[in-house]
Chains A and B, each alone.
Chain A
Amino acid sequence: MEAAAAVAAAHRREWAFVLAATVRVTRDLDIAEECVQDAYERALRSWERAGVPERPGAWLTTVARRRALDLRRRDATFTRSLALLVEPPFADEDPQDVPDDRLRLIFTCCHPALDPSAQIALTLRLVCGLRTSEVARAFLVSEPAMAARLTRAKKKIAAARIPYRVPSAEELPERVAAVLTTVHLVFTTGHTAPAGGQLVREDLIEHAIDLARMLHALLPADREVAGLLSLMLLTNARSPARTTPDGELVLLADQDRSRWDRDAIAEGLALLPVPPAGRFALMAAIAAAHSGAPSFEDTPWPAIVALYEALECAWPSPVVALNRAAAVGFAHGPQAGLAALDALDAEPALATYGYLAAARADFLSRLGRAGEARAAYEEALLLTENAVERDFLERRLAAL
């Protein structure tokens, strides 16, 4: 394999492992980042000359940790002058036999004492290895603003002494949930970009799925981890049918199901926890119910309504209530759906949520109440910023 391609592959697959192992030596996230960046640059030169090593990750780890040890020796005061990460004392290990610290790294990045937007930014920068400019682009902020956000978060980790460790068994479920929420947010940000002309950001979806695969490999018994990976695979499997070649949004009802990615669906179904209990496992079960239906008409709507009801108990949220109401409309007719939506009118969190108005508009138009449907589509348009979604709503409005 060509050296540049091997470095790119090692960047995607090994970055988190190399960085997490280097943090053991530096006990400082910034310095570890620098050493790892440096190791990847050396790899490009060295692998071109001497060929790609058998274990690229081990090679990169050795080089990054050696650089960290050099820095530490050169500046003996450095360990005293910095607020170091809190962690259990480590023996100086053989660099060939580095323990897997990726869980420590991701739990530190997704610590609940950090702002949620900082958790995502840190995860993309430190665990996925995105450059600051790439993280900035993912969230549509300027590079200096993102650099400041990352610096602030890293300062808090050091100053407040957020520990670099895997939480105790007692705290673990709650902390895993925080990590999964972050990974899911990376996915949903990619699946429907909050603004701009592109509906889907493939790069973010890939990073989210890679993160979930990594977590599943490290926590194989966790059913919510398996549930999230299953959910993302099943949802993303529909993406080839979700837009037309011109980039127009296609509703689930109108999608060409032969274009769904059957391999991804099979992988998602195999991961699905049975019976589904937690938030992500239930969401995955709903996605699975859609995946198995040969056509929109054959969707098992009553089962989906029941899954949404279970999801509302496991993870109450106005958006889940809205989805349940929409499913009621498909299970029991637009009149019943409209009644279920009306019950959500008082929900303040949905007042500015375009999907509520869009769902109402759809039921009204199916009932032949075109005037009210028009008003509801217009309301949905006022609340929607994504250009592809706006275009879709405008087409529905014109078709009334």
Chain B
Amino acid sequence: MSQYLVLIYDNEAAWANAPEGTAQRIMAGHQQFGAANGGSIQGGNALQPTGTATSIRHDSSGEVTVTDGPFAETKEALGGYYLIETADLDAAIAVAKQIPVVAGGVEVRPIMVFD
């Protein structure tokens, strides 16, 4: 079995402008996803919007700068994640395909194993 972090990227503007009932629909979708994949899901959370993010960068001289905003400004921002455990990448993709989004998608990243 392997662990994967599934990062949910969604368009915050699309979320903000979505028709009424969208949030409820997505939330119901997550509940359905959780019920269907309980065996694989190890954890997960939704994140506050990128307006609440703070980035801390280290440059080559050791200088540390703290700035307002997410690490990378993109149309689709990281909005939440699941930690899942599956047999292989194909099984992880099959799980990740079921995650509901408004106008974005998900990224599947294998968890590094140190032994």
Which residues in A have some Cβ–Cβ distance to B below 8 Å? 80, 86, 111, 113, 159-163, 167, 171
- Residues of B close to A161: CB separation below 8 A: 2, 87-89, 110
User: Is B73 positioned at the interface, with any CB of A under 8 Å from its CB?
Assistant: no
Q: Which residue of A has the minimal Cβ distance to B112? A: A159
Q: Which are the 5 A-B pairs with shortest beta-carbon distances? A: A163-B88, A86-B88, A161-B88, A160-B110, A161-B2
A159→B89 CA distance, assembly (Å): 10
Within the complex, the shortest CB–CB distance from B103 to chain A, in Å, comes to: 21
Contacts A160-B110, A167-B90 given; 9 further ones with Cβ under 8 A? A80-B115, A159-B110, A160-B89, A160-B108, A161-B87, A161-B89, A163-B87, A163-B89, A163-B90
Which residues in B have some Cβ–Cβ distance to A below 8 Å? 2, 87-90, 93, 108, 110, 115
A111→B93 CA distance, assembly (Å): 12
Asked whether A113 and B93 contact (CB < 8 A) given A159-B110, A161-B2, A161-B110, the answer is: yes
A171→B89 CA distance, assembly (Å): 13
- Residues of B close to A113: CB separation below 8 A: 89, 93
Within the complex, the shortest CB–CB distance from A83 to chain B, in Å, comes to: 8
Best-buried of B2, B90, B93, B115 by chain A (most CB within 10 Å): B90
Q: Which residue of A has the minimal Cβ distance to B86? A: A161
List 7 A-B pairs, Cβ < 8 Å.
Answer: A86-B2, A111-B89, A161-B2, A162-B88, A163-B90, A167-B90, A171-B90
A167→B110 CA distance, assembly (Å): 20
A161→B89 CA distance, assembly (Å): 5
Within the complex, the shortest CB–CB distance from B92 to chain A, in Å, comes to: 8
- Residues of B close to A159: CB separation below 8 A: 110
Within the complex, the shortest CB–CB distance from A175 to chain B, in Å, comes to: 9
Best-buried of B87, B88, B93 by chain A (most CB within 10 Å): B88
Q: Which residue of A has the minimal Cβ distance to B109? A: A160
A113→B90 CA distance, assembly (Å): 9
Q: Which residue of B has the minimal Cβ distance to A83? A: B113
A188→B2 CA distance, assembly (Å): 38
